[in-house]
Amino acid sequence: MTAAAPKLYRAIIDTLQEEITSGKYRPGERLPPERELVERFDVSRLTLREAMIGMEIMGLVEARRGSGVYVTERPGATVSPSDLDIGAFELTEARRLVEGEAAALAAVTADPADVAELREILDQMIAENERELHDEVADRDFHLRIAQATRNAAIVLLMKTLWDVRHRSPLCEKMLERSRRSGVKPRIDDHRAIVDAIAAADAHGARKAMRDHLGRVIDNLLAATEMDGIERVRAEAAELRERAGRFAAI
């Protein structure tokens, strides 16, 4: 049997770790900007962000808000790339495919009791958001309840597995934690649109609502893991304003 090809983000980590060890990038030195690394490795921004966060977990680099990613003073990996497992982008892409089809099937198979329970869980999600809870219990229950409404045990098992990966994978957990710290919460309007489509027995609408929702989750992850784009521009603008203020006071 042919061995599976290594994950793209792990190949990036291996290369950059080698270059850090060889002295190409020294302690305290900033890594090249995201756009350069994306071009160099010919990968998406999603894959590169996974690699950078993986290197943070390994203790090789640190991300400085609004500045970029820097080599740590004492790189010393206690976690290997193989221990990182699945990243949040990869997981959410899989969820988008699987849960989109589950929602479409649920729109055909769900009964009024299923819809009523989904609306109750949605109310719980609203309450969790208002209380600033970040354990995502209601969010998980909502998506698993849709799987149960399909009346397909294999889909339920698959959905549980995808959700469990969120907490088993150090890379995924780190990325989601960063997203939560940036203020991202379960999107109530997105979830309501999914329930409404299932209630209307609209398979196409349910699939689209779910896929749109998880597409926005990916967008939120991108925004929360921004390395050197908008935040750096904001930091530079703030510095310029401060300097202008100092000069004006002379």
pTM over 0.85: no
Which CATH number applies to 88-224?
Answer: 1.20.120.530
User: Where in the chain are the domains?
Assistant: 8-84, 88-224
CATH of 8-84, one of 3.30.930.10, 1.10.10.10, 1.10.510.10, 2.40.110.10: 1.10.10.10
Q: Which residues pair with 68 in a beta bridge?
A: 64
pLDDT in tens, the chain (250 residues): 444 456 788 899 999 999 998 999 999 999 999 999 999 999 988 889 889 988 988 889 988 877 889 998 765 555 666 667 778 888 888 999 999 999 999 999 999 999 999 999 999 999 988 887 666 789 999 999 999 999 999 999 999 999 888 878 888 888 777 777 766 667 899 999 999 999 999 999 999 999 999 999 888 888 877 754 444 444 444 554 454 445 445 4
What pLDDT does 149 receive?
98
Cα 231 from chain centre:
18
| Alpha helices, H only, 110-228 | 112-130, 137-149, 153-168, 170-181, 188-199, 203-224
**Nearest CA to 105 among 71, 154, 57, 61?**
154
Burial of residue 208, with CB atoms counted within 10 A of its CB: 0-12 exposed, 13-18 middle, 19 or more buried = middle
pLDDT at 212: 95
Same fold, 8-84 and 88-224: no
Residues 6 or more apart whose CB falls under 8 angstroms from that of 219 comprise: none
